[in-house]
Amino acid sequence: MPALYRGTEFRSRGEPLLNLHPAESTSADARQTVLDPIAKLNKKHRQPYPGKTDLEARIRNYELAARMQLHAENLLDLSGETAATQKMYGLDNPLTADYGTRCLMTRRMVEAGVRYVQLMPPIKPQVMPWDQHRNLQEEIHVIAPRVDQPSAALIRDLFQRGLLDEVIVMWTGEFGRLPISQLKNGCDHNRYAFTTLVAGEGL
């Protein structure tokens, strides 16, 4: 796929979107004085390289970022959510708060019309949290409680808001696991057995 289709990364801690605000505030007229020449240069550099997607993607991303400055903060501000909703997503529990925040941000993005959201789990206990070759039982017991409640809450929340009629949620880890042990305490990949949950759009 061309670079144009790369996603925009959000964070569940700290500033959700980096570099959303300029280091020094400027007036709208001053910003436009800078943006107009940039737009002309972008147009000039687009023409000789119609097959190159990196420049086009960068331009689109910057334009998207400019539009997001107007809406992103409100979209990702979870303080207006009810206490019941925050509790449903597990934001009141340190174990589930991180992934719960990601799930609740996802629901808000879907509500706002974002067409595709890829939601990643916390990387602990390791960089690939579902890839338990060496310490299967212990690592599953670490990652599963972090994601179970928030994942269920996202589906329930989309359903009760009527959004699940037009949204598909697909939840999956990586490869399944063999029913025999590997290295005493882990299991190798089993490409014939995945655990995948699909909900929405009448499924």
Tens of pLDDT along 168-194? 999 987 677 777 776 677 777 787 887
Q: Dihedral angle at the C-alpha atoms of 134, 137, 140, 142, nearest 10 degrees?
A: -100
Tens of pLDDT along 116-175? 899 888 776 667 777 777 777 788 888 889 999 999 999 999 999 999 999 999 998 767
Cα distance between residue 99 and residue 151, in whole Å: 8
* Residue 92 backbone phi and psi in degrees, to 5: -90, 0
Of 117, 35, 31, the residue nearest 75 (C-alpha) = 117
Give me the mean pLDDT over the 41-61 stretch: 73
Statement to judge: residues 11 and 70 lie in one domain? yes
pTM: 0.73
Statement to judge: residues 70 and 146 lie in one domain? no
**86 near 104, Cβ under 8 Å?**
yes
Instruction: Choose the final residue of a domain: 27, 49, 75.
Output: 75
Tokens standing for residue 36 = 């107009």
Tokens standing for residue 67 = 């539009």
Q: Which domain holds residue 146?
A: 84-199
Statement to judge: residues 194 and 117 lie in one domain? yes
**pLDDT reported for residue 107:** 96
Q: Please give the tally of structural domains in the chain.
A: 2
Find how far residue 124's CA is from the centre of its chain. 17
Mean pLDDT for the chain? 82
Tokens standing for residue 100 = 């719960």
Peptide bond into 150 cis (omega under 30): no
Statement to judge: residues 112 and 169 lie in one domain? yes
Tell me the torsion sign for CA atoms 121, 124, 128, 134: negative
